[in-house]
Amino acid sequence: MRFDLIAGNLGLFAQGIWLTLQLTFIPMVIGLCIALPGALAQVRGTPILAPLMRGFSYLICGTPLTVQLLFVYFVLPEVPGVRSSWAWMFLRDPWWCAVIAFSLSAGGYWIVLLAGEIEATPKGIMEAAAALGLSLRQSTWLVLIPSVFRRILPQVGNEVVLMMHASALASVVTLADILGAARTFNARHYLAVEGLLVAAILYMALTFTVIGVFSLLERRYMAYLGLNR
């Protein structure tokens, strides 16, 4: 093991960690913004929007993320008119292509998760909110959505970990995330093992950190269930 070379390239791996965190949490937030109205529309059977969201989630869940990323990176820029439109400002940048692809993927899976939990919410919760004089909008955002998110905390943690692992695909479109930094390190110093070993250790460290944070959140927000977590 060339620990001297690894120590001399800590900055490279630090940049990779920062990019990996960006490609994990930014798409999760954007995906949530897509999925919340999509899941509500799907559960409530909103005309036009409900079947569109259902089809979107089927498309995302039915295709590999690698294909989705390569489609955004290679195919969309070749659509006539894209390069002369405002969209080219984003699609010419690999970082934005990765964020777009990962956000759409997160949104598709979030829709399935949220719709299932909304449908599983006891009707008595909304009836109690209505009895207190809350409108449907107020009941949805002040009662239903907080209740849903409290119950899906374990699944949210799993989704964050899965997205972090999936972000390794960013190196396919020339981005230097943790895996990209490892490949750059190995190519720069003509090594085969050291860079990938460091990448594996970093991914494990980030995974355990995320798991620990969500375990604390579960203890805080799911204590009313009486679970010994």
Q: What's the total number of domains in the chain?
A: 1
Is the separation of the CB atoms in 105 and 65 below 8 Å?
A: yes
Residue of 87, 105, 95 lying closest to 173 (CA atoms): 95
Per-residue pLDDT, 190: 85
d(CA 88, CA 76): 9
**What mean pLDDT do residues 180-189 have?**
89
Per-residue pLDDT, 179: 92
Residue of 112, 113, 104 lying closest to 154 (CA atoms): 113
pLDDT above 50: residue 228: no
pLDDT above 80: residue 3: no
pLDDT in tens, 37-87: 999 999 988 899 999 999 999 999 999 999 999 999 999 999 999 999 999
Is the separation of the CB atoms in 106 and 27 below 8 Å?
A: yes
Residue of 60, 62, 42, 59 lying closest to 51 (CA atoms): 42
pTM: 0.89
Least confident of 7-11, 59-63, 136-140, 218-222: 218-222
Give the residue numbers spanning the domain of 153. 3-225
Least confident of 115-119, 147-151, 179-183, 224-228: 224-228
| % of the chain exceeding 90 in pLDDT | 57
Sign of the C-alpha dihedral, residues 30, 32, 37, 39?
Answer: positive
What is the CATH number for 128? 1.10.3720.10
Task: Give 175's contacts (C-beta < 8 A, 6+ positions apart).
Answer: 19, 23, 94, 95, 98
**Mean of per-residue pLDDT scores for the chain:** 89
pLDDT band at 223 (very low <50, low <70, confident <90, very high): low
